[in-house]
Structure 1
Amino acid sequence: MTDPQLPPPYGAVPPPAAPPAPSVPPGPAGTVPPVPRAPGFAAPGYATPGYTTPGQAAPDYTAPPGAYQVPVGGYSTPGGAYAVPETAPQPSKLTGVLSLVFALVATVVTPIVAAFASYEVGRRVPEAIVRLNSDDLSSLSVLSPARDQVLWAEISFWAGTILGIAAIVFGIIAIARKRGRGQGIGALVVAVVGPAIFLFVAGVALGAGAAAGGVGLYS
């Protein structure tokens, strides 16, 4: 290494000289000159772009004339765009369900009750015919031994009739107001077929009972 105090050898390139220090203008006596700050840092008395110091007016952020601006209220949906439809509340199906229940009770339950009552009536009538005289063979006297069974048969008949009419009325309302149209249509079909089923079951049970009573009488 060479001594920095000695002159450089012949042919050597001298190192570049350091830049001179920035000159600070002298201020009043007793004051400290301002120190340069890094960009983005605001010290008291210095304004930094993008920031507001106390006593400084807020910058104006309005767009210059001719610039694109967002419309007030945001963007509106085009007229032909797809919109999700509002789901309307589903109507209650209680009317259709009630009509179907009435029809099933009138078509299934009442014929079963009538079948038991008719069978007992048919089984007791032959014995009553044999015991009564020919002068007393009236309808009421023949049915007197089975008066309770006749009463149950009548109750089942009228109950089935009332329930069938109610099923038809409720079924029509359910279909017209769309409150269980499927149940209403089913109730109408069952209610219309119900009387035929009732008469068929009661007639078969009455005949079976009369046959059983006749066989037991002559055995």
Structure 2
Amino acid sequence: MTDPAQSPTPPPGWTPPATPPFGAPVGPPAGAPAPASGRPAPSPAPQYGPPPGSPYAQPGARYTPPGYAGAPAPRPAEPRRSPVMGIVALVAAVAAMVGASIAGGIAAFSVGLGTGGQMSAQPLAGDFDWSILSPVRDAVLAGEVSFWIGTALGLWALVQGTIAIVRGSGRGFGVAAVLVAALGPIAFFTAVQIGISTGLATGAGFTG
């Protein structure tokens, strides 16, 4: 079977299409001046547009290949979370570090002050005589209570500060709370060491 386009004689009933499938070629504008050389201007390459009636014939229309989705819709902005969680974690961390360190230091000073004379009389080599702590057992108990309360507050601040960082609820306060909670034990034992050393020196001076 011969192709109608290649056949010198079209078959009966065949008529050429009224409009090319890609639009009519666009030639030079009417009334354009001829070149100075007098030769006819070369015709520009034909420009084809979308078929008439196509939705892409409108200005600004974007072509989407079949099987592909259009541009994704912009994601809605996340709501801003309240920084209360991070602030509470930071307050708990500061209370754990400062409060426990002050209470532990005062209790350690009282223990050193009350046992300064007995401590100085203790031999360096040998077992420690825990009976010398009987007069200052209240101060020892206060030091232990301050340690455990500070530990509980520090753990709470550490956990809540980490959650605040992950959730973005006061992330800056959460980071500060984690750092303060991590430094809390160091501050507590430093205060206890300073307190008991000062108390022992003061108690030994009074006894001497």
Give the TM-score normalised by the residue count of structure 2: 0.58
Tell me which of 173, 181, 195 is aligned to 1:191: 181
Distance apart, 1:131 and its partner CA = 9.0
- Map of 1:178 onto structure 2: 168
Alignment partner for residue 140 of structure 1, among 120, 130, 141?
A: 130
Aligned CA distance change for structure 1 residues 87 and 130 (closer, same or farther; 3 Å): closer
Paired position in structure 2 for 1:48: none
Counterpart CA distance in 2 for 1:94 and 1:140 is 46
Q: Is the 8 A contact 2:120 2:204 kept in 1?
A: no
User: Is 1:117 the equivalent of 2:107?
Assistant: yes
Distance of 1:198 and 1:139 partners within structure 2: 25
Identical amino acids, percent of aligned pairs:
36
Residue 127, structure 1, aligned to residue 117, structure 2:
yes
Q: 1:163 aligns with which of 141, 153, 178?
A: 153
Aligned residue-pair number = 132
Give the SS at the match of 1:206.
Answer: helix
Structure 1: which 5+ runs fail to align?
A: 1-77, 80-84
Counterpart mapping for 1:90-101 below 5 A? 90-101=80-91
**Separation in structure 2 between the aligned mates of residue 164 and residue 149 of structure 1, nearest angstrom:** 22
Residue type at the aligned position of 1:197: A
- Measured in 1, the distance between the counterparts of 2:120 and 2:187 equals 32
Deviation, 1:92, is 1.7
Q: 1:86 to 1:112 in 2, by over 3 A?
A: same
1:204 aligns with 2:205: no
**Displacement of 1:95 after TM fit?**
1.1
SS of aligned partner of 1:109: helix
| Displacement of 1:198 | 0.6
8 Å CA contact 1:128, 1:145 repeated in 2: no
Name the counterpart of 2:95.
105
Question: Which structure has the bigger radius of gyration?
Answer: 1
Cα distance in 2 between the residues matched to 1:94 and 1:139: 50
User: Once the two structures are superposed, what CA deviation does each residue of 1:43-72 show, in whole Å capped at 9, x if it has no partner?
Assistant: xxxxxxxxxxxxxxxxxxxxxxxxxxxxxx
Unaligned runs of 5+ in 2: 1-60, 63-74
CA distance 1:199–1:129, change in 2 (3 Å):
closer
C-alpha distance in 1 between matches for 2:182 and 2:120: 40
Q: Decide whether the 8 Å contact of 1:121 with 1:206 is kept in 2.
A: yes
**1:111 to 1:130, Cα distance in 2 relative to 1, 3 A:** closer
**Partner secondary structure for residue 211 of structure 1:** helix
